[in-house]
Amino acid sequence: MEAAKILKSLAKEDLRILMAIEIGMKRSEYVTINNIKFYSRYPIEETLFRLKHVHKFDLIIRDSSKRDVGYTLNSKAYDLLALHALVEKSIISQLGPLLGKGKESDVYSGMDDNENIYAIKIYRMGRTSFKNIKSLRDIIGKRTHLSWLYVNRLAAKKEHDALEKIYKLNLNTPKPIGYNRHMVVMEYLRGKELVYYKNIDNPLYIFDEIINQMRVIYQEGKVIHGDLGEFNIIIDEEGNILIIDWLQSISSDHPNAKIILRRDIENVCNYFKKKYKIESNIEEILSSFYEK
């Protein structure tokens, strides 16, 4: 990641200028020089010097179309600020190679000072268009001014919060280590997504394990995945089930909880029926979720 390399070349004053722009972006897309000066608490000469310096690294976007010149952060700068914060908090010390790339996120490996290996999920929702904003209503609430950087920050917080709640149930879900801005650091999961297996040993056992985990998470954690399918169920070498990607999760008291829970169950049942010829009764499984 380019931001990790650039981070080594920046002074703390440069980071403070970037954070000043970040603060100003809560109010407007582009932040004027006077406001950057105000938020950074730097004199105008230092402000201009630092703006010029970070601009050389392609970390900010300049808008000179209006009378007051303004600046905004790009995704590279946001990566840099998040990485800096995670390192400062001793959550990670090194960033490793890219592990995976999806429509909404990238996943990198990372390591802390004790050589624990983690997965670092970085939200990249700007890859999608604002046509998909309806799917993010639960995240953005009633906010009117939003940048995609901030949407990604809200998404990371939502997933981290869901992981914390679910991890307490002692299931095979990734342990949340920490988060900052649009990055979530979690336990590294060894295995691969269900969809990428040509065949699995004892598919009926795996199917039952998935349904059982879903049931425990619903009954004890009061959480529904919301987007469950073969792409976000991981199986490791020992046959453990690991459910990932909790961005679309909802509470069990959500107005559409029953519909969404049924859809999750349906997705799992249909996949195992089509791939492994496993017959199941969706309505009976759904009913079992309401029994205790």
**Residues taking part in catalysis:** 227
- Distant-in-sequence, close-in-space partners of 66: CB < 8 Å, separation ≥ 6: 30
Distance between CA 241 and CA 178 in Å, rounded?
22
- Distant-in-sequence, close-in-space partners of 164: CB < 8 Å, separation ≥ 6: 176
CB 149 within 8 A of CB 182: yes
Distance between CA 195 and CA 172 in Å, rounded?
18
For every residue of 75-144, DSSP letters joined together read: HHHHHHHHHHHHHHTTS-SEEEEEEEE-SSEEEEEEE-TT--EEEEEEE-GGGS-GGGGGGGHHHHTT--
CB 210 within 8 A of CB 268: yes
Distance between CA 232 and CA 234 in Å, rounded?
6
For the record, the structure tokens of 102 come out as 């999806």
Determine the length of the chain.
292
